[in-house]
C-alpha cells in the first residue's frame, strides 16, 4: 500500500522504516531536508514540500502526519485540506487533543476528505517492537487502512493470550483497535498517557523511599544501605510489578546508579492535563493521576531522586531529553 508520511522525528522516521520493511511504498517529507535523507536511503521516496508529496501519491491518497500537537499540526492539516481530493485520507498519529480531531474531521468532511486519529504508543522502540495504536474514524476508512495498521502493530508477541476472547475483535490481540468515531483514538491514548504518569510516579516514589532508607534521620538500627540496581533487577523476575517501565528503570540504574546524568526536571506533553480535564468533565475522581501530574510541575522547581527516576524512564522509552535548568542556562 502507498502512504505519505509528514514529520520524520523520533517516531515518524521509524514508522516510515517499519512500513518500508513490511513492503509498503512510503513517500516522506520533513521541513528539515537532513531528516528526509536517511529515510530515503532506507527505501522511502523523499520530497521537498507538501505539494510534491501529494503529487507523488496515487488517489485515493493516505497521508500520515507525525508532528507535535498544536499549531504545526493544525497548519499542516489546513494546507493538506486545500491540496487533497475527495476520498483522500489524513491520519494524525501525534498526541493531538481529541476535541481538535473532531473539529478537524468536520472541516475536512466539507471537502469529502476523511480524517483518522491514531493514538500511537511505542516511542523510540517502535521500529523493533511495533506500535500500539488506538484509532478513531469511520469504520470503512479504518478498514481500508488495515494493511498499514497491521504492519505497524507489534502482533501477538510474547504476551500470553487472554482466555475468553473468542468472537471479539482480533485486532486488539495484535496491538491495535478501532476505538470509535473521530476523536476516540486520541481520547483513549490520552487516558493511556495519564495512566503512564501514575505508573511512573509510583515507581519513582518507591525507589526514592528505598534510596533514603539509609537516612541519618532514622535510628541506626533502622537504616538500610540498599542496592537499588539489584532491587530493580530482581523485581523484573516474577514480580507482580514487572513491566517495561521497570525494565527501563533497571537499565538506567545499571548504567548510572546515582542517576547523576539527570537533574529530575520532568516535562509533560499535555495528555496528563487533558486526562484530568476529562475526569473533571465526567466527575470521576483521579487522585493518583492528578498527583502524578502535579509532581511533574513541582519537579521544575526542586529535584529529588524520584524525579531522576522519572527522567530516566522517559529517556529510555522515548529518548525525551531534559531541558536545561534556568540556573544552568544562565551559567553557560
Whether the ω angle into residue 60 lies within 30 degrees of 0, i.e. cis, is: yes
Q: Which grid coordinates belong to 185?
A: 483514538
CA 182 to chain centre: 19
Annotation marks residue 189 as catalytic: yes
Counts for the chain of helices (H) and strands (E), in that order: 16, 8
Question: What letter would DSSP give residue 89?
Answer: E
Annotated active-site residue in 189, 205, 211, 307: 189
Label residues 182-217 b or e (16+ Cβ within 10 Å = b): bbbbbbbbbbebbbbbbbbbebbbbbbebbeeeeee
Q: Could you give the count of Cα atoms lying within 13 Å of 156 in the half-sphere of its Cβ?
A: 4
Annotation marks residue 196 as catalytic: yes
CA angle 9, 14, 19 (to 5 degrees): 130
Which three-class secondary structure state does DSSP give residue 33?
A: helix
Q: Phi, psi at residue 310, to the nearest 5°?
A: -60, -45
User: Which has the closest alpha carbon to 130: 109, 155, 148?
Assistant: 155
Annotated active-site residue in 196, 205, 263, 322: 196
What are the catalytic residues? 189, 196
Amino acid at each position: 500500500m502507498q502512504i505519505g508520511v509528514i514529520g520524520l522525528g523520533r517516531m515518524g522516521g521509524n514508522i516510515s522504516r517499519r512500513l518500508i520493511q513490511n513492503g509498503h511504498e512510503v513517500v516522506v517529507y520533513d521541513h528539515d531536508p537532513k531528516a528526509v535523507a536517511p529515510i530515503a536511503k532506507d527505501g522511502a521516496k523523499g520530497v521537498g514540500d507538501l505539494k510534491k508529496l501529494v503529487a507523488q501519491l496515487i488517489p485515493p491518497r493516505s497521508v500520515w502526519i507525525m508532528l507535535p500537537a498544536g499549531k504545526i499540526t493544525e497548519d499542516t492539516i489546513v494546507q493538506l485540506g486545500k491540496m487533497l481530493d475527495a476520498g483522500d485520507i489524513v491520519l494524525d498519529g501525534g498526541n493531538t487533543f481529541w476535541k481538535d480531531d473532531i473539529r478537524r474531521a468536520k472541516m475536512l468532511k466539507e471537502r469529502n476528505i476523511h480524517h483518522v486519529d491514531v493514538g500511537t504508543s511505542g516511542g523510540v522502540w517502535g521500529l523493533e517492537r511495533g506500535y500500539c495504536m488506538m484509532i478513531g474514524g469511520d469504520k470503512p476508512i479504518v478498514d481500508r487502512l488495515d494493511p498499514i495498521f497491521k504492519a505497524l502493530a507489534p502482533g501477538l508477541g510474547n504476551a500470553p493470550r487472554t482466555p475468553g476472547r473468542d468472537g471479539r475483535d482480533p485486532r486488539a490481540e495484535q496491538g491495535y483497535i478501532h476505538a470509535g468515531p473521530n476523536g476516540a483514538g486520541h481520547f483513549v491514548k490520552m487516558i493511556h498517557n495519564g495512566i503512564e504518569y501514575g505508573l511512573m510516579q509510583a515507581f519513582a516514589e518507591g525507589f526514592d523511599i528505598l534510596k533514603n532508607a539509609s537516612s541519618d534521620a532514622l535510628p541506626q538500627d533502622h537504616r538500610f544501605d540498599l542496592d537499588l540496581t539489584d532491587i530493580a533487577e530482581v523485581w523484573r523476575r516474577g514480580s507482580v510489578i514487572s513491566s517495561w517501565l521497570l525494565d527501563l528503570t533497571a537499565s538506567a540504574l545499571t548504567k548510572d546508579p546515582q542517576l547523576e546524568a539527570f537533574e529530575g526536571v520532568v516535562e509533560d506533553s499535555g495528555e496528563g492535563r487533558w486526562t484530568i480535564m476529562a475526569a473533571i468533565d465526567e466527575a470521576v475522581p483521579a487522585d493518583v493521576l492528578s498527583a502524578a501530574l502535579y509532581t511533574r510541575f513541582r519537579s521544575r522547581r526542586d529535584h529529588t531522586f524520584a524525579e531522576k527516576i522519572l527522567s530516566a524512564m522517559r529517556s529510555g522509552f522515548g529518548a525525551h531529553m531534559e531541558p536545561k535548568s534556568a540556573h544552568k542556562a544562565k551559567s553557560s
